[in-house]
Structure 1
Amino acid sequence: MNAVYSLCLANIRKKKLHNGLIALLILLSTLLLATSVTVILNTTNLFTDMHNKTHGPHEMLSLGDELHDPQKVHQWWNEQAEVTITELIPFRTLAGIKNQEQKHSAKLSSLTLYMMDTPTRPYAVDELIFAQGNEGLVPEKGTIWIPSAIAYLYEISVGDTLGFTTGEEKFELKVSAIIVDIPYGGPFPSGARIWMNHQDYTEQLQAMQGKDQYMIGLRFDDYSQSSSYWEQFEQDMGTPYLESKMNFGEMTAFYLIMNKIIGFIMVFLGVVMMLVALFTIGFTISDDILSNYKTIGVIKALGLSSRRMIGIYISQYALLAMISIIPGLIVSHWISKVIVESTLSSLKTGTSQTSLEGDLIAVVVGIFVFILVIMCVLFYSNKARIVKPMQAIRYGMSESDNSTMTKRFMGKENHGISFERTPLLLVIGIRNILKNRKASLLMILLAIIMSAVLVLGFVLLYSISSIKQTSPLWGYDSSDIALNVVNKSVFSRAEVDQELLSDPRIKNIGWMGYINGILSSEKSLNSDRSSAQPINLNLFVMEGSYDETGYTTLRGMNPRNKNEIAIGIKVAEHLDKEVGDVVEAYIEGYKHKLVITGIYQSIANQSISARVTVDVVRVNHLDYNNFELAFINLQDHRDSDRLINEMNVKYKDSASAVSMDTLLDATFKQAVASLILPMTIMGLLFTGVTMIIIYSISRINIRKESKTYGIYKSIGLTSTKIRWSVTLGIVFLSTIGSAVGIFIGVYFLPMILGSILSDYGIAKLPLILHWGGIIGLACVTVISAGIGSWASSRVVARTSPQILVVD
């Protein structure tokens, strides 16, 4: 046993750098795998815990379009024994906030605001958790509570004064508290609930045109039974629920999406890093057995058994694994906390610290990594069993290998491949690659992985930060300016149309409205049972052309006539419909049969939406003119800033203009911020690991070929030329690997990542391929490999030819 222990320590001391590299690979594998598992687990757990803590609703109903009596709907749900509901909460809708600090003013102006008449706390359902400020039963007069989602994103603090407008009137309120608002407080906020004092609500908003709208939150004892309640609702009310409804899936979607993407990338990279570590361990053990074949033969001749010989390698790598896995698990806990806090910042409160769960699962991951390492060592070290002492001492290899080598040397003159006219440096580089095939395979694999990782990170970040170029494929328009109607009572559509259409800078205008609708298969609404339940969704109503506005479809085309409709891809899956099929729709309380002309994808509402022309609504409502937004395209987009300023001055009491760049930036700013940190860390890790591995492998190869390089130097070849030849060979290998890595990073990995986004209504991931950046990052792989190889070959320059030849 002492011999095994001594030889194990000798192996560790002899190759300190290489053993340190393998330990680093095992550490990084453990780090990435444990972090990914912890992030995915805690993302769901933290949201679920906060949802339970607030007695969060499973569904949020918004009523006010006079399609249902809010009091009757509230009474019906209040009578259901296994459903807990909120009060009937009045609200009015406003557009945009003005921050007196002038921070993020353009982005804040694009928000849809639900100004709530706050009932007295506590609430049985949809309770509010205070993150900052003084907790109270209701906001004090002159103050408001705002959700953490917009407060953290737009740097709004307790004590800030925010301005609002109802059109003709403007008023200001002071932020007294920041609260966690589960249904409307997720990442990428486009709307927010602003909780007002009842007196402020009455004084500031009751003079607005129109009536109060109402929200009702529903919490089911068993959410899986919700569909049966809605079937009963339809039977008792005589009609499906025709107004707006937000379900639990819509509430949770954007809380989880970023961590799912980050978790997927980390799982993939962790698995890849683990495979690289195992391959490197296998390569090292195989190389060590071949390089020390004679020594192993002598040791076995002295009486050390094959089992104990294998035990040397197991002890060595078990020790390396243990000292690597434990720090990896500790660091993963810290990194997981950073990622979870950054992506779920809207759930963070000032009084509570993020407490991560899943330590036991992380430990299981560490044990799994340890077992993989031991199994790999067992597999490769088993080659030590076949070492025959007599053959090893005589030939330095097995007799069969010696015979094969002899035949190869004897037949060299008849070899089909000739390097007679090839430049000498290239010949040496190619020879180094061909003679060390396993090492070359590992290097090319590293180049592929590193290039794929860097390219994927760049493509994702560039595509999201430049989303204006692909906004139609995300379900948005691509117009230059959005004009949002703030106060319909003083807004004159005819006057605005006349002024804008007479402006030579404006190319076209499309007016958009939003209403709630019910879609079903043709038989669903007229039968007791149906294979697919009717689906409640948002209907986009367009006066103008969807195509000119920039909306696009995956299949088919946008609707143009009053009997046509385009539906989101999730709606198509739910109803099992395709282009050309017919659906039944309840719109504004009236039933229509519409032909599906197109199917599109949209991340904004998970593709649970549909598009119709205004002609569909005007079949029953001839005077429909309830448009909330105008999409404006310009002859020259460079005029947008000037035109936006002019419109905001001209229509300051009735509408607000903002560029589409600003709207998209406000929506996706958080996504870019969440991805930058993990993608940067992983890119740097892989770059560093690749350089170290190539340095280590090249150093092993050079030591094996030391006698050959000594001969080259003794006949006049300089150290610099030898180093260049070795480096050029590895650069050539890494260039091939980088080319393959580009293909994987641009096409294969996004395809896998797209399967995650399919749950969010994105069937085809919209990417922008900036080939200059892609090729530039792929070149980083080649440069890293070249630096690692060049650094490893310093031993050739430092050593004299005589010593190399003797070695």
Structure 2
Amino acid sequence: MYAIYSLCRANLRKKKVHNALIGLLILLSTILLVTSVTVILNTTNLFTSMHAKTHGSHELLILDGEVHDPKLVYGWWKEQEGVDTSPLIPFRTLSGISRPGNEPTAGLSNLYLYMMDSTARPYEVDELLFAQGEESLVPEPGTVWLPSSIAYLYDISPGDTLEFSTGDSKLTMEVAAVVVDMPFGAPFPTSARIWMNHQDYITQFQDIPGKDQYMMGLRFENYSEGLGYWERWQQDMGTPYLGSKITFQEMSSFYLIMNKAIGFIMVFLGLMMMFVALFTIGFTISDDILSNYKTIGVIKALGLTSRKLTSVYMMQYITIAAVAVIPGFIASRFLAGVIVDSALSSLKTKTGGVTPGGGWPALATTLLVLALILLCVFYYANKARHVQPMQAIRYGMSETQHSMKTRRLTRGKGSSPTGLFGRAPLLAVIGFRNLLKNRKATVLMLLLSMMMSAVLVLGFVLLYSISHIKETSSLWGYDSTDVVVQVTNKSVFSRSEFDQQAASDPRIQNTNWIGAVNGVVTADRPVGVEASYTGPMNFSIIVIDGSYDEIGYRNLSGRNPQNKNEISIGMKVAKQLNKEVGDVVDIYIEGYEHHLTISGIYQSIANMSYSARILVDTVRVNHPDYENLDSGFINLANDADLEQVVQDLSAGYGNSASVTTQQTLLDAVYKQAVASLILPMSIMGLLFTGVTVIIVYSLSRINIRKEGKTYGIYKTLGLTSWKIRFSILLGIMVLSLLGAIIGAGAGVYILPMILGRILKDYGIAELPLILNWWGIVALALMTTLASGLGSWVSSRIVTSTSPRILVIE
């Protein structure tokens, strides 16, 4: 046992730098893998835990009283066993928030607001948790409760003053508290519930045209039985539920999407890093056995068994792995906490944050990393069993290897592979010979270059595509117009006057108006076939007075609707209904059934592709006076006029409409996505860059030591140390460039395709990317430079060693 311990300690002490690099590689592998597992599992767990804590709704009904009597709906659900309901809460809708004394913020100005008439807490369903401010049963007069998704994103705190436009006047309220409101608390908010005092609500809205609408949340004891309740509703009422409805899937989607995407990328890259670590360990052990073949033969001749020799390597790498894995496990918890916190910050409360717990999955992942390392060490260290003492002492290698080497040396000139390099420059021949002679190291460096390039390019492509989303907005399901007008005061705003002014303005090319209605599709069920019933599908339908083509809406297949009996549907609607372009769909719109032909199918991340598009003429079949179109989309003849047009329209309609650029709106929504991606992608990029430099340094150093005698001969023949180092650098940089090109292709095409499979669940079938080839090439070259740096630093040993010593060795 003492002999094993002595040899292990000698190996650790003799190769301090190399062992440290192996340990660092294991550390980084552990960090990536454990972090990814923690992020994926805790994102879902934290959301589920908070949803359970607030007794969150599985479905949120929005009732306007025109299609269904809200009190009748509430009474029916209160009678159902196994269902909890929230109070029937009245609300009115407004558009936009402003902050007195602050510059207007596009994201706040264009929020769709539900001004809630707060009833006394606690709520049986969708209880509010206080994140900031004093907790109370209802808001005090003159104050509101603001959801954390808005407050954190726009840095609003209790005590701040907000203004809301209500007809001809402004409603000024103070923020009393910030609350976690689960149905409207997800990242990328476009709508929010503002909780008002009852007296303030009555005072402010009693003289405003319109009537109260209502919300109520439903929580099922068994969520899977929800369809059965809706089937019973249809039997009792004689019609499907025709109002608006937000499902649990829609509520949860944007809580989970960013961390699932980040976690997936980290799992993939962590596995690649682990593969590199195992390959490096295997290469190191194999190289060590070959380099010390004679020494191992002598030791075995002295009585040390093969099993004990294997134990030397096992003890060595158990020590290195233990020192690396434990800090990696600890660091991963910190990193996972930062990533989860950045994406789920809206779930922070006064009593707790969103710090993830490690749990058994993180510990199991750590133990799996350790087990893989030990299995790899055992497999390669077991090769020491094949060392025969007599052959090792005589030849310094196995007899088979010695015979092969002898045959190569005695081969005729005509069969020599050096003829391939007969006309190549000398330095290039030396560099490429170094790669061909050390094939395992060459393969490892090639793989490293490919992975580093893929990581850097993927991160760059994702960040660039999201930060320049205006260029691909139509592929994400948004419009691609220049200016957006959001009507905030219908009693003052005159659409006819606006259209006349726009038509007479030579800078404006066209104007289209859009609104939204609720649509309901019921699935067909053949008699006696219970399993085929999927329940009614409620989704939002975009209504346009104009042309979808003009505002840039695109389809995956087919085209946009062009007459009143056509409809374009989202891919999730098409999938659930099993419909294709040309099929007919029966759909209820504003309480009336329509038979519409599907003209196109599109993708949209805004509502997970649970939506549709129709013309306003379709609604006017039953509602001839329908004019509920509150959003205007303007295209300009010249982009140079963009800012001036926005200023002119804002000056003319500032009291009745919010006017901004479409780019500003997209930035307001997706700046959170960019912020969430920057940290993890930067960390992974830095990790892989560091690993590349470290491993190339380590492998080059091993190769140089093995070829020390050869380089000594080169120096005695007149080659300078600089030329020898340059030849080594040249070979590795060419190899790295090849790997970088392959990796860049993977980062541009293969990895986004795999990532797209995750986004398919969120309504995106084809991931829209913008390829900035200058940036991609720059990052590919960065991979080559990182490899070159590791090679150049490692080759300093050639400069510091004299030719005489090298030849003697």
TM-score (norm 2): 0.98
Partner of 2:660, secondary structure, is strand
Answer whether contact 2:84 2:218 (CA < 8 A) is retained. yes
Contact 2:227/2:534 (8 A) holds in 1: no
- 1:640 matches 2:652: no
Question: Contact 1:518–1:537 (CA<8 Å) still a contact in 2?
Answer: yes
Verify the 8 A CA contact 2:344 2:354 in the aligned structure 1. no
Counterpart in the other structure of 1:14: 14
Could you tell me how far 1:351 is from its partner in structure 2?
A: 3.1
Residues 526, 553 of structure 1: CA spacing in aligned structure 2 closer, same or farther, 3 A cutoff?
Answer: farther
The equivalent residue for 2:186 is 186
Corresponding residue SS for 1:99? coil
2:612: which partner in 1?
Answer: 610
Aligned residue in 1 for 2:267 = 267
Counterpart CA distance in 1 for 2:765 and 2:355 is 35
| Residue identity in the other structure for 1:602 | S
Distance 1:527 1:694, change over 3 A: closer
Which of 481, 484, 487 does residue 485 from structure 1 map onto?
487
Q: Which residue is equivalent to 1:289?
A: 289
Which letter does structure 1 place at the counterpart of 2:625? Answer: D
Deviations 1:244-264 (A, max 9, x none): 100101111101111101110
Matched with 1:350 is: 350
SS at match of 2:174: strand
Which amino acid is the alignment partner of residue 55 of structure 2? H
Q: 1:278 is paired with a residue of what secondary structure? A: helix
Matches of 1:338 and 1:730, distance apart in 2: 37
CA deviation after TM superposition for structure 1 residue 526, in Å: 14
Residue number in structure 2 paired with 1:429? 431
Query: Are 1:524 and 1:532, in contact at CA under 8 Å, matched by a contact in 2?
Result: no
Q: How does 1:672-711 map to 2 (within 5 A)?
A: 672-711=674-713
Deviations 1:221-247 (A, max 9, x none): 111111111111111111111111001
Tell me the CA shift for residue 519 of structure 1: 2.1
Q: 1:353, CA displacement in angstroms?
A: 3.7
| 1:87 alignment partner in structure 2 | 87
Deviation at 1:412, TM superposition (A): 4.8
CA distance in 2, matches of 1:93, 1:527: 42
Taking the aligned partners of 2:573 and 2:316, their CA distance within structure 1 comes to 57
**Which amino acid letter does the alignment assign opposite residue 244 of structure 2?**
S
When structure 1 is superposed on structure 2, of 637-646 and 782-791 the one drifting more is: 637-646
Q: Per the alignment, do residues 412 and 114 of structure 1 end up closer, same or farther by CA in structure 2, a change over 3 Å counting?
A: farther
Deviation at 1:640, TM superposition (A): 2.0
Q: CA deviation at 1:294?
A: 0.8
Given residue 649 of structure 2, which amino acid in structure 1 is its aligned partner? M
Whether the 8 Å contact between 1:186 and 1:255 is mirrored in structure 2 is yes
Letter in 2 for 1:548: E
Compute the displacement of 1:182 (Å).
0.4
Among 432, 438, 441, the alignment partner of 1:439 is 441
Distance 1:664 1:104 in 2: 16
Partner of 1:450: 452
Within the alignment, does 1:570 sit opposite 2:597 as a pair?
no
Question: 2:736–2:783: 8 Å Cα contact kept in structure 1?
Answer: yes
- Counterpart of 2:395 in structure 1 is 395
After TM superposition, the structure 1 stretch with the greater mean CA deviation from structure 2, 542-551 or 526-535, is 526-535
Distance in 1 separating the partners of 2:487 and 2:241: 27
The equivalent of 1:627 in structure 2 is 629
Q: Which residue of 1 aligns with 2:558?
A: 556
Tell me which amino acid in the other structure corresponds to 1:264: F
How far apart, in 2, do the equivalents of 1:178 and 1:366 lie? 38
Contact 2:333 2:358 in 1 (8 A): no
Code of the residue aligned with 2:722 in structure 1: it is T
1:614 positional shift? 1.1
**Is the 1:126–1:217 Cα contact (8 Å) retained in structure 2?**
yes
Task: Work out the CA distance in 1 between the residues paired with 2:161 and 2:527.
Answer: 50
1:300 aligned to 2:300?
yes
CA distance in 1: counterparts of 2:390 and 2:470, whole angstroms? 73
Q: Write out per-residue CA displacement over residues 37-94 of structure 1, whole angstroms, 9 at most, x where no aligned residue.
A: 1111211111111111111111111111501111111111111121111111111111
Query: Could you list the per-position Cα deviations for residues 489-544 of structure 1 after superposition, in whole angstroms to 9, with x for gaps in the alignment?
Result: 22222111111111111111111110001124566899988444331110111111
Give 1:693 deviation, angstroms: 0.5
Q: Which whole-Å deviations, capped at 9, do the CAs of 1:302-360 have from their partners, x for residues lacking one?
A: 11111111111111111111111111111111111111111100001233244433332
**Cα separation, 2, equivalents of 1:663 and 1:525:** 49
CA 1:455–1:355: 2 relative to 1, 3 Å: closer
Query: For residues 531 and 369 of structure 2, what CA distance do their matches in structure 1 show?
Result: 51
- Contact 1:142 1:200 (C-alpha < 8 Å) held by counterparts: yes
Change (3 A) 1:700 1:711: same
CA contact (8 A) 2:58 2:223 kept: yes
Counterpart code for 1:600: Y
Q: How does 1:707-786 map to 2 (within 5 A)?
A: 707-786=709-788
Partner residue, 1:661: 663
Summarize the Cα distance change of 1:104–1:449 in structure 2 as closer, same or farther, 3 Å threshold: farther
Detail structure 1 runs of 4+ shifted over 6 Å in the superposition: 522-529
Which residue of 2 is the match for residue 170 of structure 1?
170
1:582 aligns with 2:581: no
Tell me which amino acid in the other structure corresponds to 1:712. Y
One-letter amino acid of the counterpart of residue 344, structure 1: L
Distance in 2, matches of 1:792 and 1:104, equals 56
For structure 2, the residue ranges without an aligned partner over 5 or more in a row are: none
Q: Report if aligned partners of 1:208, 1:489 keep a CA contact under 8 Å in 2.
A: no
Q: Matches of 1:427 and 1:204 in 2, distance apart?
A: 85
Contact 1:522–1:583, Cα closer than 8 Å, also in 2: no
**Offset at residue 293 of structure 1 (A):** 0.8
Deviations 1:553-578 (A, max 9, x none): 11111111111111101111101111
Whole-Å separation in 1 of the counterparts to 2:319 and 2:508: 72
Q: For residues 257-310 of structure 1, what are the alpha-carbon distances to aligned partners after superposition, in whole Å with 9 as ceiling and x for unaligned?
A: 111011101111111111000000010011111111111111111111111111
Deviations 1:129-163 (A, max 9, x none): 11101111111111111001010100111111111
Range with bigger deviation, 639-648 or 52-61: 639-648
- Range with greater deviation from structure 2 (532-541 or 562-571): 532-541
- Assess if the C-alpha contact under 8 Å between 1:92 and 1:115 holds in 2: yes
CA-CA distance at 1:209 after TM superposition: 1.6
Distance 1:528 1:415 in 2: 76
Asked if the contact 2:347/2:354 (under 8 Å) is kept, the reply is: no
Partner of 2:97: 97
- CA 1:535 to 1:695, structure 2 compared with 1: closer, same or farther past 3 Å? same
- Assess if the C-alpha contact under 8 Å between 1:521 and 1:584 holds in 2: no
Say how many residue pairs are matched. 807
Give, in angstroms, the shift of residue 107 of structure 1: 2.1
Q: 1:369 to 1:526 in 2, by over 3 A?
A: closer
Post-superposition offset of 1:446: 0.3
TM-score where L is the length of structure 1: 0.98
Change (3 A) 1:453 1:72: same
Q: Conserved in 2, the CA contact under 8 Å of 1:167 and 1:655?
A: no
The one-letter code sitting in structure 2 at the alignment partner of 1:140 is E
CA contact (8 A) 1:167 1:653 kept: no
Q: Deviations over 1:89-136 (max 9, x none)?
A: 111111100012415622210111111111111111111111101111
Match of 2:121 in 1: 121
Note if contact 2:455-2:685 (Cα within 8 Å) is conserved in structure 1. Answer: yes
Single out whichever of 335-344 and 422-431 deviates more from structure 2: 335-344
Question: What percentage of residue pairs aligned between the two structures are identical?
Answer: 62
Unaligned runs of 5+ in 1: none
Change in CA separation of 1:214 and 1:768 when aligned onto 2, cut-off 3 Å: same
SS in 1 for 2:621: coil
Cα 1:676–1:276 change in 2 (3 A) is same
Q: CA RMSD in A?
A: 1.5
Q: SS in structure 1 opposite 2:92? A: strand
1:39 counterpart residue number: 39
Give the whole-Å Cα distance in 1 for the aligned partners of 2:81 and 2:522. 29
> Hey, what's the Cα distance between the residues in 2 that align with 1:443 and 1:641?
51
